[in-house]
Structure formats: C-alpha cells, structure tokens
Amino acid sequence: MRQGEKSRGSTGVGRASKREARTAWLFLAPGLALFVLFVLVPVVAALYLSLCRYDIIHSPVWVGARNYARIGEDLSNHGVFYLSLRNTAQYALGTVPVGMALALGLALLVNAGLRGISVHRTTYYLPVVTSLVAISMVWMWLYDPSYGLLNYGLELLSRAVSFVTGHKVMIPPQTWLGNPGQAMAAIVVMSIWRGLGYNMVIYLAGLQGIPEHLYEAALIDGASRWQRFRAITWPLLKPTTAFILVTSVIGASQVFAQVYVMTNGGPNNSTTTIVHQIFQNAFSFLKMGYASAMAFVLFVIIFALSLITLRLTRGGQVEYA
Amino acid sequence: MCRWFLPMVFLSALVACGCARRQKPIELEFWLADFSPDGRTKALLDKQLIPRFEAAHPGVRVNTQYIPWSHLDEKLTISFAGGVAPDVFQVGAEYVGGLAYRGMAEPLDARVEKWGQQNDFFPASWSTCVYQGHVYGLPYLSAPRVLLYRKDLLKKAGFDHPPDTWEELAAAAEAMTVRRGPSTGSGSPRPTAQPPRAESRGGPVIEVAGMNLPVSWQIFVEFLWENGGQVFSEDGRRSTLDTPEAVEALRFYCDLYNKHRVCPTAGMPVAGGAVPVFASQRAAMEIMNQFGIYNVRRYAPELLAEVGIAPTPRRKQRVISVYTDWLAMSPQSKRKDLAWELMTFLMEPENLAAYNSTLFFIPPRRSAVKAAEFMQQNPQLLEFVSLMDQYGRSLPAIPEWFEIRTGLQSAISSAIYQTKTPEQALRDYSRELDGLLAERVEGQ
Amino acid sequence: MRLGIARKTLLHLLLAIGGVAMILPFLWMVSTSLKPEREIFHYPPVWLPSAWQWGNYGRAMESAAFGQYFINTTIYATMVTVANLLLCSMAAYAFARLRFRGRDTLFVLVLGTMMIPAQVTMVPVFIMLKRCPLVGGNDWLGMGGHGLLNTYPGLILPAAVGAFGIFLLRQFFMTLPRELEDAARIDGCSEAGIYWRIILPLSKPALATLGIFTFTAAWNEFLWPLLITSKDSMRTLQLGLQVFQSQYTTRWDLLMAGTVVVTLPVLIIFLAGQRYFTRGIAMSGIKG
C-alpha cells in the first residue's frame, strides 16, 4: 500500500532488487515458517471444516455450504447468531471510539513530562496487567446486585442527594449483569476500564517517535498548543492511530473472555457475542463445522471493516514536510 | 570367541533396554472436576486414596488431573479429538446422552453385572449414568434440591408448616418478603445475626426476598415435573413444551417474579452461584441442594438451627430433582480393566464417603451414606437423603442436553423479563427443539 | 511543554481521580484477600478487615504447586516474548522497508489471520502438535506417542510469532525517516546491518511496548496452556488459580490472594520497562 514508488529501469537495479527480494525473504523466513505452520495451515483446515459436519470425535463429513445456509436462516429469523452480531456491534461501538479518545488524551497528558507522572502511568496501566479471567471475576462481584460496590455507591449517592436536597431520594439498586438492558453496557464499561492503559501505552510509543525538534521549530514560529497538536502531533500519529483503530476493531469483534466468565451470554442472550457463539458451538455442542463457518463469516465482516478503516486513514502513511 | 563377544554384548544390551522399557510404569490418566477449593479433596486423593491404589497395583501410576468445571468441555473435547482422552474422567448430569451417542463413554453393562453392587445406589443417582438401557458410568456424588426455609421467619409470618403446594409457596413468600423505600437507615454494618427491620412494605427495593429463585432452566424443569410435564417425549424425538402443563409451570415461575415480586431485587446471583443470598439473610426461602446448608454453616452458623428442610412444593406430584456427577471410562483407553479397577476402588463405601465429605456432597450409595461420619452426624443432611430416596428424579438422558439447556434458559429469560409471554416463549422454543431433535442422525 | 503551577496541580488532580477509578477494583481485590471469610459477604461492604488474614497468601500458595507453575510460566512468557521480538521485527522490517514481489498481498494475508478467532484453530493446532513426528514417543509418521503435548515447545511454538507484533512494528518502522538508512546504504552497510544497528536501536519504545504486551499476554494466557497440558508439572500460574473455584463454591479470599501474587511479576516488569516509554529519541543526528 505504499504509493509513489516509481519503477527503476536499468540492469543495475534489476540485480539490486533481486538481492533486495532475497534479503527480504531471508528476513521473513523463520517467522513465516512458524506462521504458516501454526496459523495459516490451521486456518485453511478451519475453512475446510466449515464445509463439513464435524463433531470432533468422528471424521469430518462433507456437507458443502449447509453451515452457511443455516447461518443465513438464523440471520433472517433473528436467531441467536443474529443476536450475537448485534451484541458484538454494540460492544464495538461502545468500546472503540470512547476507548481510543480517552487513551489519546491520557497519553498526551502523561507525555507532558510532569514530575511524578510515572505513578499515573502505572495506575492507568494496572488494569491491563491482570488476567482477563481474574479481573472479570472481580468485576462480577463489583456488579453484584446485593453485595457489590457499585450498588453500594448508588446507595451512598442517594443518601448524599437526599441530604443535600432535603427530600428522600432513592436510587434503587440495579441488577447490572442480571438485567438484559444493562448487562452489555456493564461489560462495555469494564472493557473500557481495562483497555485504556493498553492503548495509552501504544499512543505513548507513537508520541515518542515524534521528533522534538519539530515542536521546537513550531514554538519558535509562535504556534499555540492546539495548532501544534493539529499540525504536528495528529498527522504524525496517523500510523499509530490507524494501528490502534484496526486492532481495536479486530479485538472488539472477537470479545469473548469477559462474556464467558461474567454472563455466559445471558441474560436473555443480551451479551452473547460471535466468538462466544463459536466457542459454545465448537466445544459444548460439538458442532465444529458450524462454528468454523461462523468464524469465517466473522472474518469477512472484520476484513471489510479493516479495509474501510485503512482506506479512511490512508494506510497510516506519514509525510514529513 | 572374540567375534561373537561384541554382538552378544550389544544384543543383551538391547534386550536389557527392552526389559527396562517394559518396566516403565503403566500410566492411568484420571480427570476430576469436583474438588474442594480449600485443597482437602486433593489431599485426600493425592496422599491417601491414590497411593493406596498404586500400592495395591504395583507398576501402575495414576496421573490425577484437577480440571475446573468451567473448562471441562473444551479439555475433554480436544483430548478426544487428539486421541489422548483420559482413561477415567468425571462428568455431570447432562452428559450421558451426548457421551454415549458420540462414543465417548465405554458401555459398562457387563462389568457392572459382574460387580453386582448396583442396587446399593440410589435409583435417582444411578439413572443419571444410563442411556437407552445401557450403563455408561458410576455415580460419584449427588446433590438433591429441596426447599430450604427459615423457621423463625415462617412462624413470624403466621404459618405453622412449610409450604406444601404452589399456592402456599406464593403466599408464604409474599408474607416473608421485606421491602423498603427511600433509605433512612444509618448504613453502619449490620451484625449478621439480626435481620433488617421492615421499614415499609411495598417500597421498590426488596431487602429480604421471600423466595430466592435464580433465573434458571433447572428451576423451570423442577416446576414442570411437579406439574406432571416433561421437556421432551419418552423417545426423545419430540418436544413436549407446547403443552398446558408447561405453560402453567412457566407462568407460575414468572408470577413469582413479576406478580408476587418475591424474588431478590435485582434478580439473580450471577454465574457461579458463589454469593450466598440465603445464608446472608437476604432471602427467607430457596430451592437449593445441600450447599444451602453448607453456606449457612460457613457464613451464619448461629442460624443453622433455624433452617428448615422440606420437599419442594407439589402440584400434581412431588418431585425432588437430583443432580449427580459421575465417572466414565473412555473407549479409547488402552487399559480398560485397570481403569475399571480404579473406578470400583473409588466407589468402595469408605472411599466414596471420604471423597464426598471433602466436598459436602451426598454419597450416591446407601452403604457410603452409612459409612460417612459427616452425614451420620448431621440430621439435616440425612433429611436430604430421605427426600432423595422418596421423591428423587434425575434428568432424562438425551444427547442434546447442552443445546436444550441453553435454549431453555433463553426461553425462560424472555418470559421472566417479559419480552415474550410464557405461551409465546414456550411455543417458539418448542418448535426450535423439534427441529433440533429431528436433526439427530441415529446410529452414527 | 511548560505548564504553570495551577495547571500542573489541576492535571495531577484529574489524573488522580481517574486513577482512583482505575485501581478501585484492585484495592477491593487486596482487601478481600485479607478478610476473614465471614466478612466477605457483608453489606454494607467492609474495606478494612477486622482481623488481617496475612496467612491467606501462604495458604493460597500452598494449595497447589505454585513454585513449579511459576517456573513454567516464566519460561513460557520469556521465550514467547524473545521469539516475538526477534521474528516479528525481522518480518516487519521486510514489510516496511524492503521491496519484493507479493509484499503487500502477503502483508494483508498476515493481517487477515488476526481476524480469525483462535478458538477455531485450536483443534487443528492441537492435533498437529500431538502428531509431530519423531518427538514425544512418536514414530516418523507421528503415531504412537504424545508428540509435543505437555512440553515447553508445545506451549511456546504456536505463540512464537503473531500478526499483532508484525503489524505494530511495521507501522512503527514506517515512521522512521529514511535518511539514516539511505546514508548507511551509501556507506555500504548491508540490510542486516541496517536492521540491527540502526532500525532496532531507534525502535526501543515500540519494542519495549511489544515486549511488555507479549509478556503480559503470555503470562495471563489461559486457554491454550489449559488445552495443551495435562500434567501438573507443566501447568501455568493461571491454571493454578482455578484450584480455588469449584462448582458451587469459591474461596474468594484465597482466589484474590493468589491473583495478587500472580499479578506481581508482570507489574514489576512493567515498572522496570517504564523508562523506555519516557526516553526521547535522539533524532538530532539527522540535522545537517
């Protein structure tokens, strides 16, 4: 996706580009070998399985496109796969924009070079450091309707408001994870909490890559902070932003662990996600073929979204003025 | 002479190596999913039972793996796929149909016949391991679900006996529910021995729920059986959920939530059942297995005397649902006789009793109950056993239980959360279930 | 950027309020790990235990072979991180800086595999590892033994290279100005030399980032080690934490204590790697 590469036309270059190509393949070889073996081959196997009925115990039985037809039926009947698509979309729309904006803001603040900033950097990264499984259990408890901190916080809030206004105000305890209308939002909040430090760190690395002398030159020219951001920071962060956007979308589309631990898809199918459906069908219902078909439908969706994203950000290209 | 010496040495070395390899211990792989979180089960098995078994079978090593329930399915599945399935493994109440249908459990009829100890097991526990008349495993622990209630709260509400019918259940629950409006309390930690004061009846917040009912397909199935209904037909080919009995059962369940409003405020303890609502006095009654007692012992032992045990209320019949976890043998096992010996060893009354005592489960055979000190010394647990013996019923075996319980859960949720009426929810799911059952390919 | 005192304090305050929200769940975790069991389910919630149960930490660690799990997890996480840093940076360099036929298609292919959830590739990879010929008791056709199951290579190899790392580093390499490399090429430096002596040193923030992410992810990885190991001697720390949960009960106090202990090493690695995030890049070499 690099533009502006003119082809060079003389014999000397032909040899050079052949040598360049050979070097390139040498650099790629070890990683690519592992990659082909442990990623590419299983993906092709999964594609084959998506055209079979496979209960993992017996050999796969070819059924052609029947799994895909079943997905089509499910979508038109608003079945459970349709619901998982809807829920995954809600999750992605909830976590990606907010998460990225907050992460950028945080990174800018942390990069401002204040003394003692490393404390803040650490506290914001802390959520990333624990395992998703463990932290989901803690949050499950925070959300508990009878004992959780959140409902306790609501009670304190009620009391404070009552005290201040002089009326008896009561914010009733919420069900959170047990409420079909709130469960997904609850998981979204927890995921933003967790993902913040992650994207912040990537933005920090990107900010570090912006040469200091550009800012110095701009300061000399009398540019304001906002102008410096718009003219220097934001454009030079494009590759980072593109990267974070694409990986966030890919990650959000594949959300699984939190759902599995906290709600197992409920209540009333309001939190089941695509990968949750895949997992359930593969390992509980032993419908590996159907699960693989769902995985490839997911792939097509993510691929399309990523292409659009990369097109919008123009591949994260960077030009130095 | 020298010409033969070296080859002879080489040959004998080879033979010696062969002998040495043959002396490598025979390994049995044993997977357990029910083990206590405080390490007592591990201590019992790793330090007492397994060493005793290995001593009685020299040259045999048992590799015991503790696999958490939440990940048992994927581990089992992938191991069978890779041909490295464990020789003996533990599974739950819904598994027998699926395992038998897919050839993941070895039929044990001939061995059981020879063993001859089948009749010592409780029928409701034994039936969990049977599919289409064949035995596929041995029950390892049982959990009957009964009605637990607070005797003091019941008496205070003016009832002299625990609820016996559905109507009585609803009435008792309503009487014992404590609700409150905007809080005027001080908010300081309440000592657990004192129940909260009833500040106002009819406020939006349920402080003490009359009946702790999670949104669970198991509860629905219980009510369904009590009403004389079934989830599917005897031959496992048709759904029987589109019937008046089923609709009545679901409507009763929904009414407890939405009409009588006796269930915990914001519903249900979320996945894991780890938060003890009844034991911490936020509920006056619940339908629970013996872990209800266990939690009270752990979190509010001073209340133990006030906990009453009664059979679950009846409508057309009385039913106690019993969930049993059991041990199966893999057909891929290369040491089936040895695996069977391990299973029967673990089933010996004293061993079975010891295992169940680390977990606070009910041993599924009578002689083990007699041998279990923790049972004999606990009249409440013996009550569980007696109810299990009289009215116990286990889930009927069918290969599709995993899909059915997921689908049932959705249907029930939609009814309780009122996105569908009970009739609609059951009608829609019934159709789906018929489709699911029709897909089964016989004799695969 | 120079900020006045008032702005600085405001900044610190804002960050601190947000920071409290960030660490509240951890405070809860630590608090629960030190409570007597009866106080765990108390409403209103109790923050300070009435009797500090420091013994929970010892009890938690004794509940399973956490020492062995620690060794396994350290080996696994370290090897995966080193492999990723090396292999992904080499591949990313090829994608970012070298020209060859099929480069963009290959890159898109690599990127595409990130979009397939790992859950559907686990079964083929498992079978592949089990049937690896000539290891673990297998003959040359891969039958008869256990292959690479229950081994370190079995744990490490499938995770040794990932599309995420290649993508991250390629994006980063693309931001580096070409002048340095062109100058080096003119001086006769080989591609490998440029990679090793110019690109890598300039990429310390990105490499540090990738390293910490990879290490953290491997340290916290649960599903793959669960599936590939069935011997206690090969388990990892996350699997060890499962010992505190059972079907109907959870020892929350021990579970929280265990989680705190298991989280500490990654936290320390992050604190140690912090300085790479703050180091400015010396780009002054380009001027003039």
**Which residue ranges form the domains of chain C, and what is each CATH number?**
1-53 (no CATH), 64-286 (1.10.3720.10)
| pLDDT mean over C13-36 | 88
Worst-scoring range by mean pLDDT, A126-130, B397-401, C125-129? A126-130
What CATH number should be reported for the domain holding residue B374? 3.40.190.10
CB A200 within 8 A of CB A110: yes
Burial of residue B16 (number of CB atoms within 10 Å: 0-12, 13-18, 19+): exposed
Q: Which residues of A touch C124 (CB under 8 A)?
A: 41-42, 45-46
For residue C3, pLDDT beyond 80: no
| pLDDT mean over C238-255 | 84
CB B368 within 8 A of CB B379: no
Average pLDDT, chain A: 85
pLDDT (0 to 100) of residue B334:
92
| pLDDT mean over B46-69 | 93
B24/B47 Cα distance (integer angstroms): 22
Worst-scoring range by mean pLDDT, A282-286, B243-247, B299-303, C244-248? C244-248
Instruction: Please name which of B100, C97, B39 lies closest in space to residue A23, comparing C-alpha atoms.
Output: C97
Residue contact C171–A317, C-beta within 8 A: no
Interface of C with A in 65-94 (CB under 8 A): 87-88, 90-91, 93-94
| pLDDT mean over C81-105 | 90
pLDDT tens sequence across A33-77 = 998 999 889 999 999 999 999 988 888 999 999 999 999 999 998
Residue contact A168–B275, C-beta within 8 A: no
pLDDT (0 to 100) of residue B295:
86
If one counts every other C-beta atom within 10 angstroms of the C-beta of residue C242, the result is: 22
Helices C163-175 and A183-208 pack at an angle, to 10 degrees, of 40
For residue B237, pLDDT beyond 70: yes
- Residue B297 to chain C, least CA–CA distance (Å): 10
Domain count, chain B: 2
For residue B183, pLDDT beyond 50: no
Q: Flag whether residue A59 sits within 8 Å of chain B, measured between CB atoms.
A: no
- Please tell me whether residues B67 and B92 are part of one structural domain: yes
Residue contact C157–A213, C-beta within 8 A: no
Measure CB to CB from residue A263 to each of B204, B271, B275 and give the nearest one.
B271
Report yes or no on B310 lying in a domain: yes
CB A147 within 8 A of CB B270: no
| pLDDT mean over C119-135 | 89
Give percent of chain B above pLDDT 70. Answer: 86
> pLDDT category, A308, cuts 50, 70, 90?
confident
Residue contact C171–A27, C-beta within 8 A: no
Q: Which residues pair with B66 in a beta bridge?
A: B32
Measure CB to CB from residue C249 to each of B78, B188, B291 and give the nearest one.
B291
C109/A102 Cα distance (integer angstroms): 31
Worst-scoring range by mean pLDDT, B110-124, B176-190, B412-426, C83-97? B176-190
pLDDT (0 to 100) of residue B201:
39
For residue B58, pLDDT beyond 60: yes
B307/B287 Cα distance (integer angstroms): 12
**pTM for the predicted model, two decimal places:** 0.88
ipTM given for this complex: 0.85
For residue B290, pLDDT beyond 70: yes
C180/C6 Cα distance (integer angstroms): 42
pLDDT tens sequence across C251-264 = 888 889 999 999 99
Cα distances from B145 to residues B217, B272, B298, B309, in angstroms, run 14, 17, 19, 10
* Sign of the torsion angle spanned by Cα atoms A15, A20, A24, A29: positive
For residue A207, pLDDT beyond 70: yes
Measure CB to CB from residue B68 to each of C127, C245, C248 and give the nearest one.
C245
> pLDDT category, B245, cuts 50, 70, 90?
very high
Measure CB to CB from residue C126 to each of B34, B78, B273 and give the nearest one.
B78
Per-residue b or e along B316-341, where b marks 16 or more CB atoms closer than 10 Å to that residue's CB: eebbbbbbbbbbbbbebbebbebbbb
For residue B418, pLDDT beyond 70: yes
- Please tell me whether residues B76 and B221 are part of one structural domain: no
For residue B441, pLDDT beyond 80: no
> pLDDT category, C284, cuts 50, 70, 90?
very low
Report yes or no on B6 lying in a domain: no
> pLDDT category, B7, cuts 50, 70, 90?
low
pLDDT (0 to 100) of residue A144:
83
pLDDT tens sequence across A250-274 = 999 999 999 998 888 878 899 999 9
Worst-scoring range by mean pLDDT, A94-108, B103-117, B404-418, C235-249? C235-249
- Strands of B36-101 (E only): list them: 60-66, 88-91
A192/A209 Cα distance (integer angstroms): 26
B162/B159 Cα distance (integer angstroms): 7
- Please tell me whether residues B342 and B239 are part of one structural domain: no
Worst-scoring range by mean pLDDT, A221-225, A286-290, C167-171? A221-225
For residue C283, pLDDT beyond 50: no
Phi-psi region of B133 (alpha: psi -120 to 50; beta: other; left: phi over 0): left
pLDDT (0 to 100) of residue C278:
53
> Which residues touch C223 (CB under 8 Å, ≥6 apart)?
B71, B74, C118, C119, C122
Radius of gyration of chain A (CA): 25
Interface of B with C in 15-44 (CB under 8 A): 29, 33-39, 42
pLDDT (0 to 100) of residue A18:
79
Q: Flag whether residue B55 sits within 8 Å of chain A, measured between CB atoms.
A: no
For residue C156, pLDDT beyond 90: yes
A321/A315 Cα distance (integer angstroms): 18
- Residue C220 to chain A, least CA–CA distance (Å): 5
- Higher per-residue pLDDT: B275 or C32: C32
- Please tell me whether residues B159 and B301 are part of one structural domain: yes
Fold of A68-316: MetI-like fold (1.10.3720)
For residue C277, pLDDT beyond 60: no
Looking at residue B188, the DSSP 8-state letter turns out to be P
> pLDDT category, B432, cuts 50, 70, 90?
very high
Q: What would the two tokens of residue C74 be?
A: 């350290």
Q: Flag whether residue A313 sits within 8 Å of chain C, measured between CB atoms.
A: no
Average pLDDT, chain B: 86
| pLDDT mean over B252-279 | 71
- Please tell me whether residues B307 and B420 are part of one structural domain: yes
- Please tell me whether residues B171 and B129 are part of one structural domain: no
> Which residues touch B211 (CB under 8 Å, ≥6 apart)?
B169, B173, B256, B262, B263, B283, B284, B285, B286
| Domain membership of residue B42 as a residue range | 25-144+323-393
- Higher per-residue pLDDT: A3 or C257: C257
| pLDDT mean over B329-338 | 94
State which residue of chain A sits closest to C259, comparing Cα positions. A134
User: How many helices and strands (H and E) does chain C possess?
Assistant: 16, 0
pLDDT tens sequence across A175-188 = 888 888 899 999 99
Q: Which residues of A touch B185 (CB under 8 A)?
A: none
DSSP secondary structure of B299-345: H-GGGGGGEEEEPPPBSSS--EEEEEEEEEE-TT-S-HHHHHHHHHH
- Please tell me whether residues B237 and B302 are part of one structural domain: yes
If one counts every other C-beta atom within 10 angstroms of the C-beta of residue C186, the result is: 8
pLDDT (0 to 100) of residue A9:
44
pLDDT tens sequence across A4-45 = 444 444 444 566 677 788 888 888 889 889 989 998 899 999
Q: Which residues of B touch A269 (CB under 8 A)?
A: 410, 413
Report yes or no on B2 lying in a domain: no
> Which alpha helices (H) appear in B68-188, and where do they start and end?
72-81, 96-101, 109-115, 123-126, 151-156, 166-176
| pLDDT mean over B309-336 | 95
The domains of chain A are located at 1-49, 68-316
| pLDDT mean over C17-22 | 87
Instruction: Please name which of B340, B338, B347, B346 lies closest in space to residue B60, comparing C-alpha atoms.
Output: B338
A142/C24 Cα distance (integer angstroms): 10
For residue B193, pLDDT beyond 70: no
pLDDT (0 to 100) of residue B159:
92
> pLDDT category, A86, cuts 50, 70, 90?
very high
Residue contact B282–A146, C-beta within 8 A: yes
pLDDT (0 to 100) of residue A5:
45
B118/B115 Cα distance (integer angstroms): 8
* Sign of the torsion angle spanned by Cα atoms C4, C5, C10, C11: positive
Backbone angles phi, psi at C275, to 5 degrees: -65, -20
Residue contact A23–C191, C-beta within 8 A: yes
Residue contact C90–A27, C-beta within 8 A: yes
What chains are in contact with C, requiring at least 3 Cβ pairs below 8 Å? Answer: A, B
> Which residues touch B246 (CB under 8 Å, ≥6 apart)?
B224, B227, B229, B240, B426
pLDDT (0 to 100) of residue C177:
80
> pLDDT category, B86, cuts 50, 70, 90?
very high
Measure CB to CB from residue A168 to each of B182, B267, B277 and give the nearest one.
B182
> Which alpha helices (H) appear in A36-148, and where do they start and end?
41-49, 66-76, 80-111, 117-129, 132-142
Instruction: Please name which of A7, A246, B28 lies closest in space to residue C168, comparing C-alpha atoms.
Output: A246
- Higher per-residue pLDDT: B115 or B181: B115
Report yes or no on B7 lying in a domain: no
- Strands of C105-256 (E only): list them: none
Q: Flag whether residue A183 sits within 8 Å of chain B, measured between CB atoms.
A: no
- Residue B78 to chain A, least CA–CA distance (Å): 8
For residue B269, pLDDT beyond 70: no
B436/B430 Cα distance (integer angstroms): 10
For residue B196, pLDDT beyond 60: no
| pLDDT mean over C33-57 | 83
| pLDDT mean over B260-278 | 62
For residue B333, pLDDT beyond 50: yes
